[in-house]
Structure 1
Amino acid sequence: MPVTAEDVRSIALSLPRTTEHLVRDRIKFRIRSIVYASLSADETLLGFGYPKEERAALVAAEPDKFLMPVPSDERYNWVRVRLAAIDRAELRELVVDAWRMCVPKKVALEYLTRLDVRHAEDTDAD
Structure 2
Amino acid sequence: MATLTDVERIATGLPEVTMRPAWGMRMWRVRDRGFVWERPLNGTDRAALGDAAPDGELAAVRVQDEPTTRELLAAYPDRFLTIPHFGNSPVLLIRLEAIDTEHLREMIVDAWLDRAPKRLAAAYLAEHPDD
TM-score by length of 2: 0.77
Return the offset for 1:81: 1.1
The residue aligned with 2:38 is 39
Find the residue that maps to 1:22 and give its secondary structure. coil
- Which residue identity is paired with 2:72? L
Return the match for 2:70 from 41, 50, 56: 56
The residue aligned with 1:122 is none
Return the offset for 1:26: 1.3
Return the offset for 1:75: 4.0
Find the residue that maps to 2:14 and give its secondary structure. coil
Conserved? CA contact 1:67–1:81, under 8 Å: yes
In structure 1, distance between residues paired with 2:79 and 2:101: 14
**Matched-pair identity in %:** 31
CA deviations 1:41-60 (Å, max 9, x no partner) are 48711111112122112112
Conserved? CA contact 1:37–1:47, under 8 Å: yes
Find the residue that maps to 1:94 and give its secondary structure. helix
The residue aligned with 1:96 is 109
Find the residue that maps to 1:26 and give its secondary structure. coil
In structure 2, distance between residues paired with 1:52 and 1:103: 18
The residue aligned with 1:5 is 4
The residue aligned with 2:20 is 21
In structure 2, distance between residues paired with 1:111 and 1:32: 14
Select between 34-43 and 95-104 the one with higher mean Cα deviation: 34-43
Return the offset for 1:10: 1.0
Could you list the structure 1 runs, at least 4 aligned residues long, displaced by more than 6 angstroms after superposition. none
In structure 1, distance between residues paired with 2:87 and 2:12: 26
Higher strand share: 1
The residue aligned with 2:100 is 87
Find the residue that maps to 1:112 and give its secondary structure. helix
Conserved? CA contact 2:31–2:116, under 8 Å: no
CA deviations 1:65-122 (Å, max 9, x no partner) are 1102x32322432111101111111111000000011112221121122224xx8xxx
